[in-house]
Amino acid sequence: MKVGILGSGEVAQVLGAGFLKHGHAVMLGSRTPAKLADWTKKNPEATTGTFADAAQFGELLVLAVKGTAADEALQLAGKQKIAGKVVIDATNPIAPAPPVNGVLKYFTTLDDSLMERLQRSHPDARFVKAFNSVGSACMVDPKLKGGKPTMFICGNDDAARATVTGILDQFGWETSDLGRAEAARAIEPLCMLWCIPGFLRNDWVHAYKVLS
Ligand SMILES: NC(=O)c1ccc[n+]([C@@H]2O[C@H](COP(=O)([O-])OP(=O)(O)OC[C@H]3O[C@@H](n4cnc5c(N)ncnc54)[C@H](OP(=O)(O)O)[C@@H]3O)[C@@H](O)[C@H]2O)c1
């Protein structure tokens, strides 16, 4: 698949390399594509461009930008370029404020989520929340003592969630499909929980697993 990744940070770079490793074609997008020169040297099969270039390139898109800038990045990508496409939403609504005793602050409430806001402002895109509740080090082919971890996903389009489940299979995850977009109200705060051991004990290598 041709994958357009909106973002230039840690998540964009790790997922970009992961999609390449698993046989996809990748373009990373940034307001300043030149900042990705080092990443492109390590990943010469990939290309880089603006958010609009990456959105145009991708049959499937990944949104991997700062939560406060998610809407702006999608505007720069262009409504028509993302219309109809699956958009894997890895963002979290982290407020620009320091954590309190290791607990991040969010700019959303428990009755709304960032992904629902994005879905409302871009009704033709097919958002699927995924990859937001684990650190970048474990996103691709995680090797954890407890076995294969669980990725929680949601989104309004059944086929889009099935596509993302297929990608998660490739990336070494089991998927817990939590249905429609409102489930992002529960999935996004998992990042807060995931980060607490990191802020308190510098423990950043772990992931969720559902047991039954
Ligand atoms: N880091 C992790 O391990 C991790 C794990 C799970 C989920 N997440 C989530 O994934 C997302 C990306 O995280 P990250 O750590 O890779 O990077 P980040 O530092 O949160 O975000 C960097 C990206 O945000 C974009 N950006 C910042 N301000 C912008 C603006 N005003 N307009 C448009 N774009 C703007 C930057 O664009 P330019 O390229 O143009 O500078 C860059 O691509 C975040 O929402 C984060 O919460 C992170």
pLDDT tens sequence across 130-185: 999 999 999 999 999 999 999 999 999 999 999 999 999 999 999 999 999 999 99
pLDDT at position 153:
99
Beta bridge partners of 129: 89, 154
Task: Count CB-CB contacts under 10 A for residue 209.
Answer: 13
Predicted confidence band at 186 (pLDDT cuts at 50, 70, 90)? very high
Q: Which atom of ligand 1 is nearest to the CA of 32?
A: 40
Task: Count CB-CB contacts under 10 A for residue 43.
Answer: 19
pLDDT at position 61:
99
Ligand 1 pocket residues where CB is under 6 Å: 7-12, 30-32, 64-67, 69, 72-73, 90-92, 94, 132, 135-136
Centre of ligand 1 from the C-alpha of residue 165, in Å: 23
Cα 143 to its chain centre, rounded Å, is 19
Going by alpha carbons, the residue nearest to atom 48 of ligand 1 is 11
pLDDT at position 36:
98
Select from 10, 38, 40, 66 the residue to mutate for testing ligand 1; criterion: most ligand atoms less than 8 Å from CB.
66
Q: What is the pTM of this model?
A: 0.98
The pairing of beta strand 25-29 with beta strand 47-49: parallel
Centre of ligand 1 from the C-alpha of residue 212, in Å: 34
Side by side, which strands form the sheet with 2-6?
47-49, 25-29, 2-6, 60-63, 86-89, 126-129
